[in-house]
Amino acid sequence: MAEQFQTEITGVIEVAPGFFEIILAPHKALRNCVPGQFINVAVNSPQSFDPLLRRPFSLYRDFPGGVSFLFHIQGRGTRILAEKTAGEQLDIVAPLGQGFTLFPEMNKPLLIGGGVGCPPLYFLASKLLRGKFDIKACLGFANKDSVICREEFLTLGIDTDTVTDDGSFGKKALVTQRAEEIIKSGEVDAIYACGPKPMLKAVQALAGKYKLPCQLALEEMMACGVGVCLSCVVTTENGIYKRVCQEGPVFMAEEVLFT
Ligand SMILES: Cc1cc2nc3c(=O)[nH]c(=O)nc-3n(C[C@H](O)[C@H](O)[C@H](O)COP(=O)(O)OP(=O)(O)OC[C@H]3O[C@@H](n4cnc5c(N)ncnc54)[C@H](O)[C@@H]3O)c2cc1C
Ligand code: FES
C-alpha cells in the first residue's frame, strides 16, 4: 500500500556530469519497494506548489542506512532536485506500480539497460537475482560521459558489457545490437529491460525472435502517478489501455503494443 511521507536526504552525489544520486534515510515504505516499482517525489519547496506535479523515479540501491535513486537532469524538476543537499527533507509517495517478477525456471537472465533505465535493473540484480542466477548485463549510453551504474554491476560480479552510441566507451553499437550478439551465444534464457521506448521496442522484437520470456519497465510521462488521470496509458494486446503507473511500469514484453 502506497503512503505519503517525508524523509531526509542523507547524501547527494554527482555520479557523472548531469547525473545525480540522492540517498534517502530509511523508511518502511521504501524498504518494501520491489525492483521496478517507483517513488513519486515532490520537487517543490514546502512553501510552494510550483512545480505542482511530482516526478517519478525508480529506486537504485539500498544500503543499511537507506536507499537511493539516480536521475539525469531533463528539465525544471530534475534541475531543482539536483540542487538539494543533505539534511533537507523530501516528500515522497511510495511504493508505486508493479515491479519485476522473477521467471521461476529461468536462471540465465540478460538485463538490458539504456541510460537512466539502468538503475532499476541494478536494483533488480542486487535485490532479487544476485547469488541465485547466472546474470549478464548489457548497458547502453550515448557517450562516455553518460556511463552510469557500470562499476556497481561489476562489483556485484555480473558479466557486464557496455556500449555507447558514439564508441567513446566500449564498443560503438546500439545496446540492442550487442544484446543480440549475447543472446546468439545461447547463454541467455530470459530478458529484463528498462530504457527509452525505441530501445524497449527493439528488445520486444528480440524477445519474440529468440522466443525468450521478457519483462519491460516503461517510463511514460506521468501526472498523478496513482491511477487517476490516465495520462500514462499504453495500448496493450486486444487494444486494451493500461496505466503505466498502476498496471505497470513493468509489463510482459508481448503485452505492449508500441506505436
Ligand atoms: C516509472 C518511472 C521511473 C523513472 N525512473 C527514472 C530514474 O530512475 N531516473 C531518471 O533519470 N528518470 C526516471 N524517470 C523519468 C523522470 O521521471 C523524468 O526524467 C522527470 O520526471 C523529468 O522531470 P523534469 O521536470 O526534469 O522534466 P520536464 O521539464 O517535465 O521535462 C523535460 C523533458 O523530459 C521529458 N520527460 C519528462 N518526464 C518524462 C518521463 N516520465 N519519461 C521520459 N521522459 C520524460 C520530457 O518529454 C521533456 O523532454 C522515470 C519515469 C517513470 C515514469
Ligand atoms: S499517471 Fe495518472 S493515471 Fe497514471
Each residue's pLDDT tens digit, 45-101: 777 777 889 999 999 999 887 899 999 999 999 999 999 999 999 999 999 999 999
- H or E, element range at 178: helix 175-184
Residue corresponding to grid cell 539534511: 87
Query: 92: Cβ–Cβ under 8 A, 6 or more apart, which residues?
Result: 4, 5, 6, 7, 24, 27, 29, 30, 39, 40, 41, 42
Q: Which pLDDT value is given to residue 64?
A: 82
Residue in 40, 199, 219, 226 to alter for ligand 1 test, most ligand atoms within 8 A of Cβ:
219
Q: What is the pTM of this model?
A: 0.95
Question: Are 154 and 160 contacting, i.e. CB atoms less than 8 angstroms apart?
Answer: yes
Is residue 72 lining ligand 1, measured as CB closer than 6 Å? yes
Cα of 213 vs centre of ligand 1, distance in Å, is 27
Residue 248, Cβ density class (10 Å: 0-12 exposed, 13-18 middle, ≥19 buried): buried
Question: Are 152 and 158 contacting, i.e. CB atoms less than 8 angstroms apart?
Answer: no
- Measured at the alpha carbon of residue 110, what is the angle toward residues 161 and 107, in degrees to the nearest 5? 130
Is residue 227 lining ligand 2, measured as CB closer than 6 Å? yes
Cα of 52 vs centre of ligand 2, distance in Å, is 15
Question: Are 9 and 89 contacting, i.e. CB atoms less than 8 angstroms apart?
Answer: yes
Residue in 222, 234, 242, 247 to alter for ligand 2 test, most ligand atoms within 8 A of Cβ:
222
* Closest ligand to Cα 234: 2
Q: Which pLDDT value is given to residue 182?
A: 96
Is residue 234 lining ligand 1, measured as CB closer than 6 Å? no
* Closest ligand to Cα 244: 2
Number of Cβ within a 10 Å radius of residue 50 = 10
Least confident of 60-64, 79-83, 109-113, 243-247: 60-64
Query: Which ligand 1 atom sits closest to the C-alpha of 196?
Result: 43
Kindly state the greatest CA–CA separation across the chain. Answer: 56
Residue 127 and residue 78: Cα distance in Å, rounded?
Answer: 26
Question: Are 56 and 47 contacting, i.e. CB atoms less than 8 angstroms apart?
Answer: no
Residue 126 and residue 147: Cα distance in Å, rounded?
Answer: 19
Q: Which pLDDT value is given to residue 50?
A: 79
Helix (H, G, I), strand (E, B) or coil at 143: coil
- Measured at the alpha carbon of residue 123, what is the angle toward residues 118 and 124, in degrees to the nearest 5? 95
Instruction: Please write the tens of the pLDDT for every residue from 191-224.
Output: 999 999 999 999 999 999 999 999 999 988 899 9
Q: In terms of C-beta distances under 8 Å and separation of at least 24 residues, what long-range contacts does 59-62 make, across chains too? A: 59/30, 59/33, 59/35, 59/119, 59/120, 59/123, 60/21, 60/119, 60/120, 60/122, 60/123, 60/149, 61/21, 61/122, 61/123, 61/126, 61/152, 62/30, 62/31, 62/123, 62/126, 62/127
Residue nearest to atom 9 of ligand 1 (CA): 71
Query: 204: Cβ–Cβ under 8 A, 6 or more apart, which residues?
Result: 214, 216, 253, 254, 256, 258
Residue in 93, 98, 230, 247 to alter for ligand 2 test, most ligand atoms within 8 A of Cβ:
230
Instruction: Please write the tens of the pLDDT for every residue from 152-188.
Output: 999 999 999 999 999 999 999 999 999 999 999 988 9
At residue 44, does pLDDT exceed 90?
A: no
Task: Find the helix packing angle between 197-209 and 175-184, rounded to 10°.
Answer: 20
